[in-house]
Structure 1
Amino acid sequence: MDPLSDVLSLMRPRSAISAGLDAGGEWAIRFPAHEGIKFNTVLRGACWVQVDGEPEPVRIEAGDCFLLTRGRPFLFTTDGTLPAIESATIYDRALDGIATCNGGGDFFLIGGRFFFEGDHAGLLFDALPAIVHIRDASNQAAVLRWSLEQLATELRAGSPGGVLMADHLAQIMLLQVLRLWLTTENAAHGGWLAALANPRMARAIGAMHADPARRWALATLAGIAGMSRTVFAVRFREVVGQTPHDYLTGWRMRLAADRLRRTRESIAGIGLSVGYESEAAFSAAFRRVTAFSPTQYRKHEGKQHNASRPTK
């Protein structure tokens, strides 16, 4: 798989379609803090989005998609001077998945949320701004446009298998939005994710992901990128924000953490699979990155998993 697919697979995203919003006239709606990330797309009309802690609101219009990546409270409004109502006042009365404000008719938005297993979401979303905004996304990608139309249909129809269909559609949309974002100027400040938009950096990162256990020399990675050793080292750090060695170590530890959490494989075996010939060397590296020994991490994650399981 390619690096972005690797990361999304490791995060194991699952989606939950929350509701659509049908609004009319002038309005302002305040939303509370949320878990996961919010995905929204505007099918009709326009409004402003203001995320707490961000200096300026963002104008969103029909055809736009955006992700809210920080979990902070936010405001949707047509006029920043209006007093805001709390979202629960209309979403608690939603019919067929659609919340209505002021009778509806002028503005329509589909909203959803992504949740992620484990603790790997930061690997992707720490590299993104609080609002990932894609203008006129439905006209930029036929796949996204079809997904938007189909998701709107699933939300309204309640057809058999609709939950599974909506889940897969939402994941396609998440991937497509990230792809579109990588083509924008804003992606230049996106850390390792931005590096995927640079063919040379992407080749080096792809090689590390394809064979994380290999003893990657800087010169080898530079050769894959088609650059001199010195230029590659400098450029990689400029774009990704860390050295190739540190990036590789971090990726290895995330792979190891996933196996510790999801399997009963031996610690020595997991260490060997990510490039460490001795359990001691792997344990030292894992503790350096995570602040836990592999044994501590496995016990901690096991408790977290059991605590999150529903009771009968």
Structure 2
Amino acid sequence: MDPLENVLSLLETRGYLSSGLVAGGSWAVAFDPPEGVKFNTVRRGRCRLAVDGLPDEVDLAEGDCFLLTRPTAFRLAGGEPTTPVPAGPLFAAAAVTHGGPARTGEGADVDLIGGGFTFGARARALLLDALPPVLHVPAGTPEAATALWAIGQVDAELRQDRPAAGLVAEHLAVVMLIQVLRRHLATDPRSTSGWLAGLGDPVVAPALRALHTHPDRAWTVAALARTAAVSRSTMAARFRDVVGRGPVDYLTGWRIELAADRLRRGADTISVIARDIGYGSESALSVAFKRVTGQSPASYRRAHAPTP
């Protein structure tokens, strides 16, 4: 199984569309730290993105899109520098008065549409912390074109109120997320870390695919080395250098993530989960699970049980 698909499925990735922003002249809007991941696409005009903690602004042109992976305040601006207005009241007023995009400045030189993604509890540890704070996809790339198309389709679905429009919109938004991640992994893999960095490595990537496809197998470093046609020592050294830990440690961590997900969301017995992810017995899984999480599987399940 493809590791990126595997992780996104595990994280219960959900996308949503928010109100657009139309601006002109000299303007600036300050946004509070977003929950989850924020994205925007520039449908018309040019503007600048500034993110707290980053030294440089990002120039955005028509057709560009960007993704913010941290809960950090940010600003969008155009024209000459000016004092930012807070985004919250601006968007709230637009919803009350006309239900359309928020508007600021003078004119309509710039048109942005965006939204965000929400994830399950493990998103930051498994995915977001491995990414840089901003992913910028410039216009003219296939990924930017797909993102712009997907957002346009989401907008159309929600405006026309078609049957199952919410579900279609959600899936189209996730398509956009995948395109942005693909672009980043193909063009700037060095700015990622952990298993994401491994996806761009010719030695590590086949091993990661094998581990994610068959986590129940009794993998050894030698067996993983054969998937990439390299020596055992090369696989061990490269995997640790790129991913940050050895392949066997990575497999243990991934198995525990799978077990934790099933404990949170399902009713399978611990022994069934243990068998499915490669542990010979319930006690073997319990030992590994407690070593990694600090809790037994039973305690973890009780702690994460849905509230009645």
When the two structures are superposed, what TM-score results if normalisation uses the length of structure 2?
0.91
Name whichever of 106-115 and 71-80 sits farther off.
Answer: 71-80
Structure 1 counterpart of 2:307 = 306
2:250 to 247, 250, 255: 247
Shift of 1:152: 3.9
2:260 to 257, 260, 263: 257
Name whichever of 26-35 and 273-282 sits farther off.
Answer: 273-282
Please give the per-residue CA displacement for 1:193-215, whole angstroms capped at 9, x wherever unaligned.
12212343221101001111111
| Alignment pair present for 1:73 and 2:76 | no
8 Å contact from structure 1 (residues 64, 138) kept in 2 = no
Unaligned 5+ segments in structure 2 are none
Shift of 1:139: 4.5
| Alignment pair present for 1:146 and 2:136 | no
Cα pair distance change 1:268/1:291, threshold 3 Å = same
Report sequence identity in percent. 46
Shift of 1:3: 0.9
- The 5 A counterparts of 1:229-248 are 229-248=232-251
Shift of 1:141: 6.0
Name whichever of 291-300 and 98-107 sits farther off.
Answer: 98-107
> Aligned partners of 1:298 and 1:13: how far apart in 2?
21
When the two structures are superposed, what TM-score results if normalisation uses the length of structure 1?
0.90
Structure 1 counterpart of 2:177 = 174
Task: Give the letter aligned to residue 200 of structure 1.
Answer: V
SS in 2 for 1:275: coil
Unaligned 5+ segments in structure 1 are 308-312
Shift of 1:221: 0.4
8 Å contact from structure 1 (residues 147, 169) kept in 2 = yes
| Alignment pair present for 1:22 and 2:22 | yes
> Aligned partners of 1:289 and 1:203: how far apart in 2?
25
- The 5 A counterparts of 1:119-134 are 119-134=122-137
| Alignment pair present for 1:165 and 2:171 | no
Structure 2 counterpart of 1:90 = 90
Shift of 1:234: 1.4
Shift of 1:183: 1.2
Task: Give the letter aligned to residue 69 of structure 2.
Answer: T
> Aligned partners of 1:80 and 1:280: how far apart in 2?
65
Name whichever of 283-292 and 255-264 sits farther off.
Answer: 283-292
SS in 2 for 1:77: strand
Please give the per-residue CA displacement for 1:112-149, whole angstroms capped at 9, x wherever unaligned.
11111343443111110111111226545654343233
8 Å contact from structure 1 (residues 67, 132) kept in 2 = yes
Cα pair distance change 1:203/1:114, threshold 3 Å = same
Shift of 1:6: 0.6
SS in 2 for 1:213: coil
1:228 to 214, 231, 237: 231
Shift of 1:157: 4.5
8 Å contact from structure 1 (residues 47, 60) kept in 2 = yes
RMSD (Å) for aligned C-alpha atoms:
2.1
Structure 2 counterpart of 1:190 = 193
Task: Give the letter aligned to residue 76 of structure 1.
Answer: L
> Aligned partners of 2:241 and 2:38: how far apart in 1?
29
Paired residues, number:
305
SS in 1 for 2:175: helix
Task: Give the letter aligned to residue 232 of structure 1.
Answer: M
